[in-house]
A and B are shown apart, each in its own frame.
Chain A
Amino acid sequence: MSIHPKLIIPAVVSIVIGACQLSCRKMVSVPEPVNSITTSEVFSSDDQASSAMAGIYTQLANGSGLSFSNGYTTILTGMSSDELFYYGAGDINILAFAPNQLLYSNTYTNTLWSSAYQVIYSANSVIEGIAASTAIKLTDSVRKELTAEAKFARAFAYFYLTNLFGDVPLALTVDFNKTRYMARTPSAQVYKQIIEDLKEAQSVLPPDYSVAGPPYERIIPNRWAATALLARVYLYMKDYTDAAGQASAVINNTSLYTLEPDPANTFLINSREAIWQLKQGTINNPSWNATLEGYALIAFPVSTGVARYCLTPSLLNAFEPGDLRRSAWVASTNNGGSGTTYYPYKYKLGPGDAAYGAPSSEYYMVFRLAEVYLIRAEAEANGATGGSAAAIADLNILRSRAGLAGLSSSLTDAQVTAAVAHERQVELFAEWGHRWMDLRRTGQAHDILSALTEKQPWAGDYQLQYPIPPAEIRTDHFLVQNPGY
């Protein structure tokens, strides 16, 4: 074979030109991954973007096991406060909660921290993804709705973070270069952000459950969920006027919300009391159709199996005789014959009843009307319009539902405040860490907890804040550990 020399130069030239045509950048570009889609694809249409928001809800409801939003806040703070104790021999990390002997390396507080920040990251992704998207298939109304939902989710996660850990880094972007080295943001500033997010959510989110579609389950946060959280935030900030105002807005919406007459129905799917519930998956979820919290708390079998997280005598004693909540929301077990213990029984589906793929009768309750009444009562007791009288009236609504006599209208201010605290203790026990956060924000934690025999010797008030996970401090040296750890 021979190539004519005259052909060589044109050949080489055409190869070179051909190579230049195929630009170098194209030569090293690869098709997009097959098992994932990019941010721009996610926010290219209403459906895809809704999937991203569904990712946040499923993270909240199921996660990959217990997390801050599906049980651990209840369980861990329940032990840190005076509600629960751990029954049996567990690993030292879990045993450290009830006696308030947490080490800074505790793995469970680490889970609380990580799971909350995962939700925040996902929420930031949605907020930024929508803002950056120019897709016309992503309609304006969906953009607004999803942004508001994401901001609500972000506010929700930050609320727990700052109440459990104190000052926390306020990450509002997914840009890792901006968040990689952050100092802890003062709690007041975190609250400011929470209020800002909630106000936007409140103004955008619909006043009903239309977003969830038929049968309009209360599983997507709406305007009233944002309002309820806002009321709680104002209460925590001691802004009683606003707290009462926001609470009234929810309470006055009687067409949507009324107390369930029977406490046993409170936590069911169709509860009229529910403002926002998280719907657990029924397949590919370790607890099947049960809530993760119910699955963790309830003994199997219910009255003879071992219950790990048991109610403390002090909580059991706090119930007044005849309180229907005591009978409806508490169960007992003989732990296989080794002694009777009591455990929270607000959710009824546990390991014994959970079924794979079956529809569930209960969802995980996040906000409910009873708490809103209590917020308003506390606000009124502290000077919001209506004063003590209105507070007593609100408390009596709950007491009457619990089958208890109403409080006298002649209580002193201090007595009203104590009554609110008591009512919160028994109404909201083993629910979202209310007790722990109430003790902390009202300054009673030291007095009440350090006096308990099971917490002797008292490790110190530093235990009232959970430790920042050490891996976080190692990777971000601007973080400072909470004092004492």
Chain B
Amino acid sequence: MHFTKTLLVMKLTSILMLGVCLQVSARVHSQTVSFSGKNVSLEKVFTAVEKQTGYVFFFDEAILKDARPVTIQAENYPLQLFLSCVLNGQPLKFSFQNKTIVISRKEPVAAPIPPAPDTAVHPSSPPMFYGWVMDMSGQALSGASVTIKSLGKSTLTNGQGLFSIPRPAAKSKLIISFVGYTTKEVTLTEGQQELFIQLAVAVNALDAEVVQAYGKTSQRLAVGNIVQVSGEEIQKQPVMNPLLALNGRVPGMLVTPTSGYISAPVKVEIRGRNTLDANQISDPLYVIDGVPLTILDLNMSYSLSSSYAKGSAGFVQGGLFSYTGGQSPLFSLNPADIESISVLKDAAATAIYGSRGANGVILITTKKAKPGKTQLDIQVNQSISNVARHWDMLNTQQYVQMRREALKNDGLALTAANAPELVNWDTTRYTDWQKKIWGVAKSTGANMSLSGGDRNNSFTIGVGYARSQDITTLAGSNQRISLSSGLSHLSPDQKLKVDLRAEYAYTYVNAISMPGPTTLAPNAPPIFDTRGNLNWPDWNKAGLSDKFPFATILTPSISGNNFINGSLQINYALAKGLNLGILGGYNNAFSTSAWYNTIASQNPILKAMASAAYGTTVLNNWNVEPQLNYAFYIGPGQLNCLVGGTWQGTTTRGMTTLAYGFTNDALIQTPSNALGSVSSGNLSQKKYASIHGRINYNWLNKYILELSGNRDGSSYFGPGRQFGNFWSAGGAWIASEEDWMKRVLPSWWSFLKLNASYGVTGHDGGGAYQYLSQWSTPAAYMGSPPYNNVVPLTPTHAVNQDYQWQENRKINADLTLGFLKDRINLTVTWYRDRCNNQLTSIPTPVFTGFASVTGNSPANVQNTGWEALVNAKVISSASISWTLGFNIGINRNKLLSYPDFQYSPYYLTMKIGQPLNNVYLFHYLGINPQNGQRSFTDYNHDGVVTNNPNIPPGTVNDDHYIAIDVTPRYSGGIRSMLTYKRCMLTMFFNFKKQMGMLPYTDMVGVMSNVPADLFKDHWQKPGDQVKNPRFSTQGSNSDGYFGQSDGAYTDASYLRLSTLAFSYSIPENICKKAHMQGLSLSINMQNVFTITSYKGVDPEITSFGTLPQPRVIEGRIAFNF
């Protein structure tokens, strides 16, 4: 330490010095200080600072006599803040002289202010007021706005959270706000010259942070329609695929599992069906931490294909066969790693994604590093799942009676040929096949996360393992091990921000198929014989070997998948409000699949050999996104400009190998043991580049105007057609900010906002290289062999170079209301999406070369609808709180126009003005009392009920005149969260109003069990006025027509308690004893009960006998240390 008797006479006030220092701090001081102590002498503090920063103190020892010891707890405080805190209330001030900190006595009266030393910054500054805005943890908030209420003038904080304004008059009010934080209003005291303020994270629905495209917003300020579901809400549900946790949570978004298999693809559709093309999937664009997860569907021959109805096969593009129908890509994402999921629906929210945003965008944000004490969270869960409902089927006695009566009605004697199961099998044996085949499945999971670090460097690491059985409990399981990590760095001068996130997951799915347990004869013999082999002998004996249903138990389909997703985001604050950022992202999925047709599964009398199919799928996505953000004030309005670019590359490669002729099941895992094998492969590639911009002008949080534009190019299009322009314009009016409106609105009405947008997004589906004329050697199997020893080449598809973007024009209008200080919020939305110039596969006459060509179809499809979203804090007090949420979405879809429709390929299946998902049906009249057969309306009175598939339904002699739309009329959810002291009870209901097909529409009387209610009240003799048809083994047209009639459709609406979660946190004092910070116990249930008039097991999966969604009951313990 250096002491001197000389005091430097400084005329500056300490505050001014601080201000000046802050202005130049980027260059001079880039140091932070951590120091904690109680009643420490200033000298000790200074010593510590010198050690940490390399600065030296310069002061007169004498003046320290007047100083009091200080008590401070500071972690990574910027030096100037630290010094301000230490000297707060002391008669001392500090100033910087290069690397020296000068401590001097405060002048009793502030002297007139001379020009600041650094005149470049403020040439002739008026007296300035300085402030620093941070969050509750002391992290600087860069870009927060500070408004002097009386003047209506505003400024923004710089990269270090600092601002300076001409010193306002005393008692001025400052409003400090930042997206995602609760706005604070501060009244300045007399002579106040500085301000340190901390903002709290907003917890109310209106102001909470919402992730939007390339940024953040809140419901209060959003111009587009965005619904965010929090990670917390997702994690309360015991599901392995986070997509399933969104079911019913977002109005206007339908989430449909394609089967009860846990890893199965999940079909997601936002605001209705856009495309006529039955091969085009409805999935939105998924973006994980800024990295798009694009899968190019290969639709290879001898592989799974993707379609509108089934969704994308996902990670299983190569490979012949998968019981699960592929694998949902998001099955590889651990729900425990998710911070939030945002669903972007309208043009304002999605136009910046240009040609990729037509079906909406889902932004998934994973948990990021949180500074603070290192914290370890461990969570372990165990669950069981079973079928929630069983079919009420015939028992053996009824079944036998049905069969006998059927044969009698047909005038047939019971023989081994027409009733083998009655003749050859024990007719007293009874098995409840559903219970036998769908068992109680067990699941286990554990998640651990570790996070911590300081303000500059923080990290998070998560590890998860989950193992879930499908309810086909004889075999099969789904496993996932996942690792996620996040690293954040903030440079000491707070200008550079680096954020690295990575997720890795390995999944292993072993699935078997079980026969539909419902149609099996109840007296059928056991699955396995006494030696544990499949019971072929009993079926062979009955001459039913071709009907043996259990072979698939021993023919598993297995897929293993590695998925990695990583993103690196670097931001640099160039100047106040000006940020330069770049994001680089990569994801890769490597998946191998196999299907083994084992010898053990095959009929032993055939001496069969085993065969296998192997598949690999490799998916790569990378993207680079440079971006420049500039925020500043023009007048009282804040202007946010964003200019950026995206460059994305995607490849998907698939390979399938079929191998046959294995002589031993043990050798089946590699094709080298096979007698022969054939392979086919495909690679699809895509590049996408765009330049986008967004301008948002916010006038005092009252009027907001947002324009976004996007020029992008995709390799899916031919030369000269690769580039397209997309744009949107939107505005919001927060009427409740108007003074006159405040007078008009009653006091309980706290918020009123109207926002609307219009814009064009696009879609570049259709597949790679469709513009390129391609030749290939036809697939090896059944294909074209060489001719005269020359390997042949044939054109592979029709070439059209002229196809262009599909255009989706979207209008959206939201009305948001807040009541009782925003405790109740309501958003009502109206939208209209029109999809024109559709990019589809257009059927063409074969003399063009092929039966279809990729091109733009003139079809115009419209989806309009209403959505409502309500959030209410019913009770909010210290010990008890209760929040309720409700959402509903209503969509109406129709084919608006189609020039020359009668010549279109859709003429026979669709109608103009009608929904795309209409089915056209006969009208069912009931049972004909004379013959016990089902009867239908002869619509055209020509004497016969006719099914003519060659003309539009309901015209000429065709009698399918009833139209039923099979998409839900409306759907939504109800959420309730009740917290009382340490207990929390969460309930989530979802509901759908829809028509569904009856579970069983086939014949009654053949060798197939039927639902019990078909047995009741069935026709027995002429004159019977009954509900159900006669029993018969010989079908007539009327039996076949039933499934095409409105009699087969019924109300399949339901209200389901889909989640019920109860948790209890152990009191802290008990935790402390166990050296824990927290411990909570919870019970979570999924698919608890369903209220429906539908007769099936699951109104959501209506096909008879397929795997229903299980009911899951999970117990969970979570600790943190």
Q: How distant is A168 from chain B, measured CB to nearest CB, in Å?
A: 8
- Which of A276-284, A390-398, A416-424 faces chain B? A276-284
Q: Which one of B774, B847, B903 has the highest number of Cβ atoms from chain A below 10 Å of its Cβ?
A: B847
**Taking CB as reference atom, which chain A residue is nearest B684?**
A33
7 further A-B contacts with Cβ under 8 Å, apart from A171-B848, A176-B798, are A51-B792, A54-B786, A113-B846, A121-B850, A281-B785, A281-B787, A477-B903
Given contacts A52-B775, A64-B782, A284-B782, contact A30 B715 (CB under 8 A): yes
Nearest B residue to A25, CB-CB: B722
B772 at interface, CB cutoff 8 A? yes
B790 at the interface (CB under 8 A from A): yes
A3-B572, A176-B798 are contacts. A477–B900 as well, Cβ < 8 Å? yes
Contact pattern, B 949-974, Cβ under 8 Å of A = 1, otherwise 0:
01000000000000000000000000
How many angstroms between the C-alpha atoms of A281 and B787 in the bound complex?
7
Per-residue 0/1 for A25-41: is the Cβ within 8 Å of any B Cβ (1 yes, 0 no)?
10111111111111101
Residue contact A220 to B788, C-beta cutoff 8 Å = yes
Residue of A nearest to B574 (CB): A8
The answer to whether A387 has its CB under 8 Å from any CB of chain B is: no
Report the minimum CB–CB distance from B1108 to chain A (whole Å).
36
Listed by A's residue number, 24 A-B pairs whose Cβ atoms lie within 8 Å are A28-B687, A28-B713, A28-B722, A29-B715, A39-B774, A51-B790, A57-B792, A58-B786, A105-B950, A114-B846, A117-B846, A121-B849, A125-B773, A169-B845, A174-B849, A176-B853, A180-B844, A212-B788, A219-B787, A279-B787, A281-B785, A285-B785, A471-B905, A472-B847
Asked if A42 and B847 sit within 8 Å, CB to CB, the answer is: no
Q: Are A58 and B847 in contact (CB-based, < 8 A)?
A: no
Inter-chain contacts of B722 with A (CB < 8 A): 25, 28
Q: Is the CB of B782 within 8 A of A30?
A: no
- Residue ID in chain B nearest A120 by CB atoms: B847
In contact, A1 and B681 (Cβ under 8 angstroms): no
- If A2-B30, A24-B723 touch, whether A39 touches B685 (CB-CB below 8 Å) is no
Give the residues from 163 to 185 in chain A that come closer than 8 angstroms, CB to CB, to chain B: 168-169, 171, 174, 176-177, 179-180, 182
Chain A residue with Cβ nearest B785: A281
- CB within 8 Å of A: which B702-724 residues: 713-715, 722-723
- Tell me if B851 is interfacial: C-beta within 8 Å of chain A: yes
A6 close to B (CB within 8 Å): no
Distance in angstroms from B276 CB to nearest chain A CB is 14
Q: Is B794 an interface residue (CB 8 A)?
A: yes
Please give, as numbers and ranges, the residues of chain A lying within 8 Å of B905 by CB-CB distance. Answer: 471, 474-475
Q: Is the CB of B715 within 8 A of A38?
A: no
* 0 or 1 for each of B767-790: is its CB under 8 Å from A? (1 = yes): 011001111101011111111101
Indicate if the CB atoms of A33 and B792 lie closer than 8 Å.
Answer: no
Which residues of A in the span 126-153 have a Cβ within 8 Å of any Cβ on B? none
Is there contact, CB below 8 Å, between B802 and A177?
A: yes
* CA distance in complex: A68, B781 (Å): 21
Within 8 Å of chain A (Cβ to Cβ): is B1018? Answer: no
Complex: A105 Cα to B847 Cα, angstroms:
18
CB closest residue in chain B, given A33? B769
Q: Which of B645, B772, B788, B843 gathers the greatest number of chain A CB atoms within 10 Å?
A: B788
Known: A37-B793, A51-B791. A118 touches B846 (CB 8 A): yes
Contact partners of B848 in chain A: CB under 8 A = 121, 171, 176, 179-180
Task: Check A37–B775 contact: CB distance below 8 A.
Answer: yes
Instruction: Give the residues in chain A near B713, CB-CB below 8 Å.
Output: 24-25, 27-28
Contacts of A56 in B (CB 8 A): 794
What are the residues of chain A within 8 A of B580 when measuring CB–CB? 12
Contacts of B493 in A (CB 8 A): 1-2
**Complex Cα spacing A12 to B643, Å:** 13
- In whole Å, how far is B837's beta carbon from the nearest beta carbon of chain A? 17
Instruction: Write out, one digit per residue, whether chain A residues 185-225 have a CB within 8 A of any chain B CB (1) or not (0).
Output: 00000000000000000000000000011000101100000
Question: Are the CB atoms of A283 and B785 closer together than 8 Å?
Answer: yes
User: Contact: A50 with B686, CB < 8 Å?
Assistant: no
* Interface bits A276-303 vs B (CB < 8 Å: 1, else 0): 0001011111100000000000000000
Closest Cβ of chain B to A295, distance in Å, is 13
Neighbouring A residues of B900 by C-beta, 8 Å: 477
- Given A1-B496, A25-B722, A179-B848, check contact A474 B907 (CB 8 Å): yes
> Which A248-282 residues have a C-beta within 8 angstroms of B?
279, 281-282
- B713 (CB) vs chain A CBs: closest residue: A28
Interface size on A, residues (CB 8 A): 82
- A182's nearest neighbour on chain B, judged by CB, is B847
B interface vs A, CB < 8 Å?
26-27, 30, 491, 493, 495-496, 572, 574, 580, 626, 645, 647, 681-683, 685-689, 713-715, 722-723, 768-769, 772-776, 778, 780-788, 790-796, 798-800, 802, 843-851, 853, 900, 902-905, 907-908, 950
Nearest A residue to B492 via CB reads A1
> Considering only CB atoms, which chain A residue lies closest to B843 in the complex?
A475
Residues of A within 8 A of B785 (CB): 58, 62, 281-285
C-alpha gap A31/B795 in the complex (Å): 19
- With a cutoff of 8 Å between Cβ atoms, the chain A residues found around residue B791 in the complex are 51, 54
Closest 4 CB pairs of A and B: A281-B785, A121-B849, A477-B903, A54-B790
A383 within 8 A of B: no
How far does the Cβ of B904 sit from chain A's closest Cβ, in whole Å?
8
How many whole Å from B55's CB to the nearest CB in chain A?
A: 17
Give the CA-CA distance A61 to B788 in the complex, in Å.
Answer: 11
Contacts of B689 in A (CB 8 A): 24, 27-28
A470–B574 CA distance with the chains assembled, in angstroms: 67
Q: Give Cα A471 to B846, complex, Å.
A: 9
Residues of A contacting B26 with CB < 8 Å?
A: 2
Measured in the bound complex, the distance between the Cα atoms of B775 and A37 in whole Å is 5
| Interface of A toward B, CB cutoff 8 Å | 1-3, 5, 8, 12, 15, 19, 24-25, 27-39, 41-42, 48, 50-59, 61-65, 104-105, 113-114, 117-118, 120-122, 124-125, 168-169, 171, 174, 176-177, 179-180, 182, 212-213, 217, 219-220, 279, 281-286, 469-472, 474-477, 479
- Nearest-CB distance from A485 to chain B (Å)? 11
B645 lies within 8 A of A19 (CB):
yes
Q: Is the CB of A33 within 8 A of B687?
A: no
Whole-angstrom CA separation of A305 from B572 in the bound complex: 83
Given contacts A29-B715, A217-B788, contact A286 B794 (CB under 8 A): no
Find out whether the CB atom of B849 lies under 8 angstroms from the CB atom of A59. no
- Determine the chain B residues whose CB is within 8 A of the CB of A220 once the complex forms: 788
Does B572 lie within 8 Å of A55, measured CB to CB? no
Please measure, in the bound complex, the distance between the C-alpha atom of A50 and the C-alpha atom of B800, giving whole angstroms. 25
Question: In the assembled complex, how far is the CB of residue A442 from the closest CB belonging to chain B, in whole angstroms?
Answer: 29
Known: A51-B793, A117-B846, A471-B843. A34 touches B683 (CB 8 A): yes
Return chain B residues, CB-CB under 8 Å to A279. 787-788
CA distance A117 to B903 in the complex (A): 21
Q: Are A176 and B846 in touch, CB under 8 angstroms?
A: no
CB within 8 Å for A38 and B786 given contacts A2-B30, A30-B715:
no
B847 A121 Cβ-Cβ under 8 A = yes
List A contacts of B781 (CB < 8 A). Answer: 284
Quick check: A176 and B849 within 8 Å, CB to CB? yes
What B residues does A174 contact at CB under 8 A?
Answer: 773, 795, 799, 849
Q: How far is the CA of A219 from the CA of B788 in the complex (A)?
A: 8
Bound Cα distance from A272 to B853, whole angstroms: 45
Q: How far is the CA of A394 from the CA of B781 in the complex (A)?
A: 46
Report B-chain residues with C-beta under 8 Å of the C-beta of A28.
687-689, 713-715, 722
Contact status B845-A54, CB under 8 Å: no
* Complex: A3 Cα to B496 Cα, angstroms: 9
Tell me the bound Cα distance from A168 to B800 in angstroms: 23
Bound Cα distance from A477 to B905, whole angstroms: 11
Q: If A64-B782, A176-B849, A177-B802 touch, does A35 touch B776 (CB 8 Å cutoff)?
A: yes
Cross-interface CB contact of B794 among A55, A176, A219, cutoff 8 Å: A55
In contact, B793 and A284 (Cβ under 8 angstroms): no
The reply to whether B844 and A176 form a contact with Cβ atoms under 8 Å apart is yes
Tell whether A470 pairs with B782 under 8 Å between CB atoms, given A27-B647, A30-B686, A54-B787. Answer: no
Which chain A residue lies CB-closest to B653? A34
With a CB–CB cut-off of 8 A, which chain B residues contact A3?
495, 572
